[in-house]
Structure 1
């Protein structure tokens, strides 16, 4: 009975952002399912502390976590970096998980960014990128692509208003989770849902055994 009537049910994370129907149909388990086109975040080339190019979302085998910050912010930005450090520690041996702390301030320099992450250097996660892109409208990119709020502070043009969110993206550049660090449980939820997404990626891309 189990073999004939049973089915496997897996936890799947939602997909955030606008979606539409492509007009095509996909055949899944003998059923015709309308093909859905989901919001996909556009890739972007960032620059890390050492002036090296950081290809953001240009791999189809990686899941990513991203957030905004700027070095002159000693409140929210500092907390976001601190909270992400626990994720960096947890997944530092997993090259399938990349973390991106993206500065919104074109005035930030290499020394500014080094100062921000210096307390966490001992973690030694090679897949945690602290990066920026001085000539890119990061605020506009964040709002339109990552669904993270960001703007120049209307009462102080030298500072910024940024969202208190981490976003989780799958290997297809779709947003699969949004986590507000103002809630104490959100960092733990992010850690759990990274694991869920890793399982989904494995199911969707099983290892091929080469026959000899």
Structure 2
């Protein structure tokens, strides 16, 4: 009986510690993460993740671009590493898709107005869309600044090429009418490292609901990975 008590005591004292060490060395936390889109390559270096050495991967990142907001202020597109960006393409002469996209962004901007790190960008591909024209588009929608919604453009930049190569969106002039454009109906989600994390067709309600859910998911990832940076923002 005495020997049995010693065995039980040993189990109580040592097994929890053994299991803890086992989990520390073999276990790992699993989090839901959104995919990262675009080309990727290996840097040739290794980095430690959860105590394990893994090859370092270089992902597609959007290049910074100077843009001008509807109120004439400069906007540092991809110049901030502490915000989540939601973006899409528009142009003022388009009374169909662009208007629908703006109406949805109005809803989204209101829904996430309290989230300081979520910024929305409606980007014109038409160099003729001057600041007064952007302002006319913006005046339909109340207080954009408080809701961190930017309606922007830059006539000195080939936005069609930038959209295709950087944002991974289809964008070109209409071959039937050079004054018009053929642009994707996709909204994209971009993380704080300027990487594309999702594409969401505006024409599909379920996909827009997924976008709203995945903005929240990305917020959790940003806070988990960079708590100090996000809190400062």
TM-score (norm 2): 0.84
How many Å separate the matches in 1 of 2:43 and 2:144? 44
Aligned residues: CA RMSD: 1.8
| Structure 1 residue 99: Cα displacement | 0.6
**What residue in structure 2 maps to residue 43 of structure 1?**
64
The answer to whether the aligner puts 1:171 opposite 2:201 as a matched pair is: no
Residue of structure 1 in register with 2:12 after alignment: none
* 2:202 equivalent in structure 1: 181
**What is the number of equivalent residue pairs in this alignment?**
208
Superposed, 1:62-141 pairs within 5 Å as 62-122=83-143, 125-141=146-162
Gaps in structure 2 of 5+ consecutive residues: 1-15
Provide the residue aligned with 1:158 in structure 2.
Answer: 179
Higher-Rg structure is 2
Cα contact 2:109–2:147 (8 A) shared by 1: no
Structure 1 gaps, min length 5: none
- Name the structure 2 match of 1:26: 47
Rounded Cα–Cα distance in structure 2 between residues aligned with 1:95 and 1:29: 29
TM-score w.r.t. the length of structure 1 is: 0.91
* Structure with greater helix percent: 2
Q: Secondary structure at the match of 2:139?
A: helix
Q: State the alpha-carbon separation in 1 of the partners of residues 194 and 227 from structure 2.
A: 19
